[in-house]
Amino acid sequence: MIRILTDSAADLTPADANRPGVTIVPLHVLFADGETILDGVDMTGDEYYARLSAEAKLPRTSQPSPDTFIQFFEEAAAAGDEVLAVLISSNLSGTYQCARLAAETCEFENVRFVDSRTASQGEAILIREALRLREEGKTLDEIADALEELKGRIRILGIVDSLKHLHKGGRLPAAVALVGGALGIKPVLSVIDGEIKLADTARGRPGAMVALFKQIDKLGGVDARYGYVLLYSDQKTITAPIHRYMHENLHLSGGRVARLGAAIGTHIGPGCAALVFVAKEADAE
């Protein structure tokens, strides 16, 4: 059997998380008062964002312990299983390196690692594709090679209320945070190839939505075969303009709606509305 290993930053839906052979290793969130919670385990989304809003100091996130990965690999070895590990971008977390070190420590070799170069539903797209290919009977190497090709086309475009969480968490340079912090200016962020960048800015949320829509074509357009995901942190309703644009302007269906978990939401903060999609292949008509 090919086991699929991932981390909680993928924000998998319960349906995907409960597929046979899927294991999610939770990241940790550490509050200023010393309390530590497991992402996706110890708090609901509503509970976490309420706590985040009330915190005077931004919580910290940390990768899982090597022992958690070692235990997983030892169990896979005992069962004679292969492992496909699809993990949060190594630019954003040390989780990928930690998992590789764990496999080396316990000398587990029947594994392919995929540095997703993305997070949240970008990561989840890769996992869903891996599940589809596994059902088709593809080998571990065939699945991993396909994901390595696909991950370069994953795009995330998002609007946030403020860049302070990303800046405080060390995920965004101060100069970029300063631009996005101008009075009345809403930043539009992109995540491509593992890097968070300021894609555009606009005055007010309606202007930011228009700027986000313009970025879709600039980033390659949407490959409808993979659908798309509307992503939010604390308020599901703020994805509505993106939903309308995808249906009325791009005539696309098959969209999903998902919530940012604590591991990513800590650095994004409240008021996030995002679009996750796979760009068209460069040679596609």
| pLDDT mean over 98-124 | 96
CA separation for the pair 187, 181 (Å, rounded): 8
- pLDDT band at residue 20, thresholds of 50, 70 and 90? very high
What is the model's pLDDT at position 166? 59
The verdict on 162 and 271 lying in the same domain is yes
| pLDDT mean over 6-28 | 94
pLDDT > 80? residue 165: no
285: in domain = no
284: in domain = no
What is the model's pLDDT at position 274? 96
CA separation for the pair 195, 193 (Å, rounded): 6
Q: What is the DSSP code string of 156-185?
A: EEEE-S-SHHHHHTTSS-HHHHHHHTSTTE
- pLDDT band at residue 284, thresholds of 50, 70 and 90? very low
What is the model's pLDDT at position 193? 82
The sign of the dihedral angle between the CA atoms of 209, 215, 216, 217 is positive
The verdict on 140 and 182 lying in the same domain is no
Show which of 115, 130, 152 is a domain's final residue.
Answer: 152
CA separation for the pair 233, 235 (Å, rounded): 6
What is the model's pLDDT at position 68? 95
271: in domain = yes
- The one-letter code for the residue type at 138 is K
Show which of 152, 182, 205 is a domain's final residue.
Answer: 152
Phi then psi dihedrals of residue 172, to 5 deg: -150, 135
- How many angstroms from the chain centroid is the CA of residue 181? 24
Domain of residue 123: give its range: 2-152
CA separation for the pair 249, 285 (Å, rounded): 19
The verdict on 159 and 135 lying in the same domain is no
CATH number at residue 208: 3.30.1180.10
- pLDDT band at residue 181, thresholds of 50, 70 and 90? low
Phi then psi dihedrals of residue 117, to 5 deg: 60, 25
| pLDDT mean over 203-215 | 93
User: 98 in helix, strand or coil?
Assistant: helix
pLDDT > 50? residue 189: yes
What is the model's pLDDT at position 37? 87
Instruction: Centre a 10 Å sphere on the Cβ of residue 57 and count the other Cβ atoms it contains.
Output: 9
Of 18-27, 33-42, 73-82, the one with minimum mean pLDDT is 33-42
Angle subtended at Cα 58 by Cα 51 and Cα 31, rounded to the nearest 5 degrees: 60
The verdict on 44 and 164 lying in the same domain is no
146 closest CA partner among 30, 275, 278:
278
What is the model's pLDDT at position 113? 98
| pLDDT mean over 122-129 | 96
What is the model's pLDDT at position 243? 95
User: 151 in helix, strand or coil?
Assistant: helix
What is the model's pLDDT at position 183? 58
The verdict on 134 and 234 lying in the same domain is no
pTM across the whole model = 0.90
- How many angstroms from the chain centroid is the CA of residue 280? 19
The sign of the dihedral angle between the CA atoms of 38, 41, 44, 45 is positive
CB 184 within 8 Å of CB 204: yes
CA separation for the pair 209, 78 (Å, rounded): 51
* pLDDT tens for each residue of 38-89: 988 888 888 888 888 888 888 888 999 999 999 999 999 999 999 999 999 9
CB 41 within 8 Å of CB 26: yes
CATH number at residue 113: 3.40.50.10170
pLDDT > 70? residue 174: no
